[in-house]
Amino acid sequence: MRLDNEKLEVLLARYREGEREVIADIRKEIDIFVYNFPRVCYRDDSDVCGDFYLYVFERIERLLEEWDPQRRVPFASWFVLQLRYLYKGFRLIRKKEEFESLPEDYACPGFDDEESSWEKFRERLSVMKEPGRLWILWFYLPEELSPEDMLKTQRITGKSYLELLDIQREMIKVRLEDINNIREISEKLAKLFEAITELKWQIRSHPDEAAEKLSHLMRLENQRERLQHRLERPNNELLRVFSRLFRSLRDAKVHLRFAESQLKLLFVKEKGGEDHVLSPVST
């Protein structure tokens, strides 16, 4: 795995003179080198290689602008040094994202279709203090609100019973749409993961064809990233309907966050329990 320094410096000279279109040729020369850099230098796996490849090429134009031919250092040597610096930043960001994403691994404790988890969830919900228990029911399980729960909500909010029934119907409708949306995105992600895995296997098995496949891999991984962001994004429509119980959207977020903290604490207190966050509600 080598860089053609002479060819690259000719292309870079043209790039600096204003021929911006030659960046496509520059990328062809460095694609495979960048993709394999984490594997060769740090023994990382193909997932890291793909993520690092995207990380570098999001910054490639700025990086090329920093190259100064007057330094009398071969571009190839300078570029490897820059990749090392980029890799350090990439790993720090990756570790931070992995750490911050850990609580988000669970959309809601017990929402994994396992009977035992549902039982634990309901046990803790049943001992929650009011009105926290009500807000969890309204936001996550509106279809399970009992007539007694509706009367309690009426006393707390001052809303009429008919208005509460209307909010409940809308919450159920939006929640079902949200579930269908999650299912649809999950199916698309599953197909993308299969395609990415197959493409990475082809790149490893046929390195001579890797250059033309890397751009396809990058497009697939970009699609995967966009879909994952869609899954992680708060459902603003759910929050909008839920906020009808309160004076403002801000009040709704505050009450929901506090209720989630109550429930989360009940899970954490259990010996060997895990720390869960219910929803990515922005503050």
List pLDDT tens digits, range 44-57: 776 787 788 888 88
Is the pLDDT assigned to residue 119 strictly greater than 80?
no
pLDDT higher at 269 or 274? 269
Final residue before a domain boundary, out of 40, 74, 101: 101
Q: Taking the CA atoms of 241, 245, 251 and 255 in sequence, report the sign of the dihedral they define.
A: negative
Q: Is residue 278 part of a domain?
A: no
pLDDT higher at 236 or 86? 86
- My answer on whether 133 and 254 are in the same domain is yes
Q: Is residue 109 part of a domain?
A: no
- My answer on whether 95 and 40 are in the same domain is yes
- My answer on whether 163 and 81 are in the same domain is no
List Cβ neighbours of 271 (8 Å cut-off, separation of 6 or more).
Answer: none
pLDDT-derived band of residue 234, with 50, 70 and 90 as boundaries?
low
- My answer on whether 96 and 122 are in the same domain is no
Among 66-70, 217-221, 248-252, name the one with the lowest average pLDDT. Answer: 217-221
Q: Give the pLDDT of residue 280.
A: 37
- My answer on whether 71 and 126 are in the same domain is no
d(Cα 67, Cα 83) in Å, to the nearest integer? 13
Is the pLDDT assigned to residue 279 strictly greater than 60?
no
List Cβ neighbours of 126 (8 Å cut-off, separation of 6 or more).
Answer: 133
- My answer on whether 73 and 133 are in the same domain is no
- My answer on whether 62 and 143 are in the same domain is no
Burial code of 260-271, b = ≥16 C-beta within 10 A, e = fewer? bebbbebbeeee
User: Among candidates 153, 146, 110, 111, which has minimal Cα distance to 130?
Assistant: 153
- My answer on whether 161 and 76 are in the same domain is no
* Mean of per-residue pLDDT scores for the chain: 78
Is the pLDDT assigned to residue 84 strictly greater than 50?
yes
- My answer on whether 120 and 253 are in the same domain is yes
Q: Is residue 121 part of a domain?
A: yes
Residue 16's domain comprises 5-101
pLDDT-derived band of residue 147, with 50, 70 and 90 as boundaries?
very high
pLDDT-derived band of residue 185, with 50, 70 and 90 as boundaries?
confident
What integer is the mean pLDDT of 114-124?
A: 63
Among 13-27, 146-160, 211-225, name the one with the lowest average pLDDT. Answer: 211-225
What integer is the mean pLDDT of 12-17?
A: 89
Final residue before a domain boundary, out of 41, 70, 101: 101
pLDDT-derived band of residue 103, with 50, 70 and 90 as boundaries?
very low
Final residue before a domain boundary, out of 32, 67, 101: 101
What integer is the mean pLDDT of 106-124?
A: 52
- My answer on whether 162 and 58 are in the same domain is no
Q: Is residue 281 part of a domain?
A: no
pLDDT-derived band of residue 210, with 50, 70 and 90 as boundaries?
low
Q: Tell me the two tokens of residue 253.
A: 């977020």
Q: Is residue 280 part of a domain?
A: no
User: Among candidates 25, 51, 24, which has minimal Cα distance to 38?
Assistant: 51
List Cβ neighbours of 228 (8 Å cut-off, separation of 6 or more).
Answer: 189
Report the number of distinct structural domains present in the chain. Answer: 2
- My answer on whether 158 and 256 are in the same domain is yes
Q: Give the pLDDT of residue 116.
A: 46
Q: Is residue 74 part of a domain?
A: yes
Q: Is residue 277 part of a domain?
A: no
- My answer on whether 96 and 119 are in the same domain is no
Q: Is residue 110 part of a domain?
A: no
